[in-house]
Structure 1
Amino acid sequence: MNLFQLRAFDAVSREGSFTRAARRLCISQPAVTGHIKALEERYDLVLFRRTARSAELTPQGRALADLTGPLFGLVEQAEDLLEANRTLVSGRIEIAVDSPHIVMPLLARLQARHPGIVVGLILGNAAETREALLAERASVAMLTDAEIHPDLHLEEIAVSRICAVVNHAHPLAGREMLHLRDLDGAAMVLREPSSVTRKTFDRACRKHGIVPAVLMELDSREAVIEAAAVGIGIGIVSSLECGSDARIATIPITGPDLTNRHAIACLARRRNLRLIRAVFGLATEADARDSE
């Protein structure tokens, strides 16, 4: 059995792409393709379905990935153990997030403390972020209202509040705080139903008998803010995602059911890897300072 071929397969299965796997392994894309082709031909099977944009595992490929993932995860842990006394002067880490706002301060601290570390940022919705971590396409993830999972190690780093965003001509723009009942029947632009922010808002509305008039469902917070800025309706975002936009007013909404908890997460079996420990340390240091 050729371990170079297996490692190439493992990289493609994690990354979902021959090109990204080549970058991960620091070899050429044709070399990765050659390793996979040789592996498939030797054992007379098909491991991936190739498309124009990705490489999807076949059932046989998925079964093999269940073995190679833990195998090369242990190799990475062994490498980390052997280099435990070396300074973090170089390396790369993939971080999956469902919002760039919450992770950027952490990345700034990471760059200041360890300028040789390269970060690959994977953006997606909450479900995609969690899946990227579990599939080992990312080493660390920022998760919102994450459910306990036996394979994950989580540490809470922030709590956010659901806020309304309106343009400055809106009748509510001068308010410092809103109650949920202020939104009963109001024209609103919201994230898609699978969004964690949307789920929190919908859950609170159902509990309190509030029925907003949903004019649009949009697939990004940036689109929600744009729609609110031009006056289409009231948008709903997390307090950590508002940013600084002179066109809108951001108004917190009161109520105990209108908060989300944010955690930094990694695979439990990889929590002691040196670089992951460094990222967790920077995230929790900031959380401790913020709570003082």
Structure 2
Amino acid sequence: MNLFQLRAFDAVAREGSFTRAAARLFISQPAVTGHVKALEEHYQITLLRRTARRVELTEEGTRLAAITRAMFGLAEEAQAMLEANRQLLTGRLEVAADGPHRVMPMLALLRARYPGITVNLRLGNAQETLAALLSEHADVAVLTEVEPRKGLYLQSLGESHLCALLPVGHPWAAEPGELALRALDKQVMVLREPSSITRQTFDRACAAVHVQPRVVLELDSREAVTEAVAAQLGIGIVSSAEVAHDPRVVARPMAGAGLLNRHMIGCLERRRPLRLIQAFLGLASMSEEDGSSSGCAPLR
């Protein structure tokens, strides 16, 4: 079956004229006539009656026109949907992130600029977030301390600084300035699990200067660390990008080497040209430029 011939017939059936059908299809009138004639000859059927004033459908032509109208109507609907997606009027973006703090401003910008885009956000630890991206369960991912690898595009989102999280009544909570990393030697602490990027950064910094904190509790979320510190179970460690406004605790920037984390947004290199991914990467840059400073930024 020749779709060009069917398309030409459908246009003539809709317009009632070979000339108007040619204008509709942006081809010449003889081309439309040739397509319809070839269709009729191939199937040995008369679909149209040519009169002096207009073209009329035969009974068989009327039946075929009902089919082609539905057929090409669906094609036009598909084209409209795809065009809307291309123009970012509609679409769906799968986003993964290892924490909510950096990704939420980006999603707010996306919502403001492209209200027709639906977002599915999955939050997990660093390993889960990277795995979601590499397995194509996420289109883009907000990541921390990811090493470059072939096929992975990474765009910087800046750095965050590790902070000590103290209960509001702690003697160190009211002191100005940075808290020296060495001050945490032998201190009772409540930390994230060993697989946490924040925990790994802290452990490396401590090992470099032979600081040995007393870790009495390991927790699997930032919220749990905050609750444990508020309950005065020990001192916690948080990223400056993740400091919550909680009157029960105080976050103090820390002084010492190796206390920085690098944040990135990533996608698979081969999918980077997709328009929706390009738009989100651009909004990520805007979010970073417009972002306000954290309540636990290191003092300069």
Q: Counterpart of 1:24? A: none
Q: Counterpart of 2:112? A: 112
Larger Rg: 2
Kept after mapping to 2: 8 A contact 1:84/1:274: no
Rounded Cα–Cα distance in structure 2 between residues aligned with 1:193 and 1:236: 13
Deviation sequence 1:167-204 (CA, Å, 0-9, x none): 11112111232010110111100001110000000000
Q: Which runs of 5+ in 1 are unaligned?
A: 1-78
Q: CA deviation at 1:286?
A: 2.7
Rounded Cα–Cα distance in structure 2 between residues aligned with 1:86 and 1:275: 8
Q: Counterpart of 2:102? A: 102
Relative to structure 1, is the Cα distance of residues 127 and 86 closer, same or farther in structure 2, using a 3 angstrom cutoff?
closer
Q: Counterpart of 1:212? A: 213
Q: Counterpart of 2:271? A: 270
Q: Counterpart of 1:67? A: none
Count, aligned residues: 211
SS class of match (2:215): strand
Rounded Cα–Cα distance in structure 1 between residues aligned with 2:270 and 2:193: 33
Deviation sequence 1:5-35 (CA, Å, 0-9, x none): xxxxxxxxxxxxxxxxxxxxxxxxxxxxxxx
Q: Counterpart of 2:197? A: 196
- Counterpart of 1:133 in structure 2: which amino acid? L
What's the TM-score, normalizing by structure 1? Answer: 0.69
- Identify which range, 261-270 or 240-249, moves more after superposition: 240-249
Q: Counterpart of 1:121? A: 121
- Counterpart of 1:204 in structure 2: which amino acid? A
Kept after mapping to 1: 8 A contact 2:165/2:252: yes
Rounded Cα–Cα distance in structure 2 between residues aligned with 1:148 and 1:280: 17
Residue 148 in structure 1 maps to residue 148 in structure 2: yes
Kept after mapping to 1: 8 A contact 2:142/2:265: yes
Kept after mapping to 1: 8 A contact 2:86/2:275: no
What's the TM-score, normalizing by structure 2? Answer: 0.68
Rounded Cα–Cα distance in structure 2 between residues aligned with 1:263 and 1:175: 33
Q: RMSD of aligned C-alpha atoms?
A: 1.7
Deviation sequence 1:82-106 (CA, Å, 0-9, x none): 7499421111111111101111111
SS class of match (1:185): coil
Rounded Cα–Cα distance in structure 1 between residues aligned with 2:270 and 2:83: 18
- Counterpart of 2:188 in structure 1: which amino acid? A
Relative to structure 1, is the Cα distance of residues 85 and 197 closer, same or farther in structure 2, using a 3 angstrom cutoff?
closer
